[in-house]
Amino acid sequence: MKNFAIAVTVLLPTISLSVFPAQAAFVNSLEDAHALSLPSDNKFTDAASGPGYSFKSTTSGSVFGWTARYGFDVNGEWNGVPMLGLNTDEGVMTLTFNSLVSGFGGIVNWSGFAPGAKISIFDQLGQLIESKTLSSTGQNLVEANTFMGFQLDSLRIKSVSLENAFIGIKSMQTSAAIQAVPGPEAGAGIGALTLGGMALYLKRRRKEENLAA
């Protein structure tokens, strides 16, 4: 009987366990946008809710569902369309969504005389995903009174905050559009093919051994 030394190299897929955070784009429109309803409550409050979200503010003077006049000095004024307004120069109002979304935006305005207007998005653990400073003292860093927001390629946004400078937002939208990514089963399939090929190779080698014996 002849003995054969068989060297088999098994190539298995390398699976990376690293998780890279999705990049949030600051945008002036959303993919697959859906209007976020805001009731015309016309009330001063630090807590309220709407369909699919809750609202909180650091000041009880903030306005929820406001349709009366709301001014932003040199950046103009709003009236008629329901809005959220911080209604103070320093503070934070936060929208928390019942379900994760991949995008959020709206028409945003702020006082041109007050510094530090900012919009930020956070994940379900309360960790900051991205933020954008909109103004400094006496200067708009982006165009005021326009649609703006953030778009991701995955469902990660749990809440959004708007800070300082009498900031206001109306005509809000969310997006749930996501891009398909390969799941873990793809790697498993490659591994199964590799192991299947190795088994076939060994079967053929055993047959050759028997014939040569």
Strands 157-163 and 77-78, sheet pairing: unpaired
Tell which residue, 178, 173, 180, 107, has the closest CA to residue 146.
107
H or E element that contains 136: strand 135-136
Written as six digits, the tokens of 115 are 């510094």
| pLDDT given for residue 18 in this prediction | 36
208, part of any domain:
no
CATH code of the domain in which 81 resides: 2.60.120
| pLDDT given for residue 191 in this prediction | 43
Is the pLDDT at 19 greater than 90, yes or no? no
Tell which residue, 124, 126, 177, has the closest CA to residue 150.
177
pLDDT in tens, 82-95: 999 999 999 999 99
* pLDDT confidence tier of residue 10, bands split at 50, 70 and 90: very low
Q: SS3 for 8?
A: coil
8, part of any domain:
no
119, part of any domain:
yes
Domain that holds residue 119: 33-175
**Does residue 109 contact residue 78 with C-beta atoms inside 8 Å?**
yes
Average pLDDT of span 188-198:
44
Total structural domains within the chain: 1
Average pLDDT score over the chain: 83
Lowest-pLDDT range of 34-43, 164-173, 182-191, 196-205: 182-191
**Does residue 197 contact residue 140 with C-beta atoms inside 8 Å?**
no
Q: pTM for the whole thing? A: 0.74
124, part of any domain:
yes
**Does residue 10 contact residue 3 with C-beta atoms inside 8 Å?**
no
| pLDDT given for residue 205 in this prediction | 57
* pLDDT confidence tier of residue 204, bands split at 50, 70 and 90: low
**Does residue 175 contact residue 35 with C-beta atoms inside 8 Å?**
no
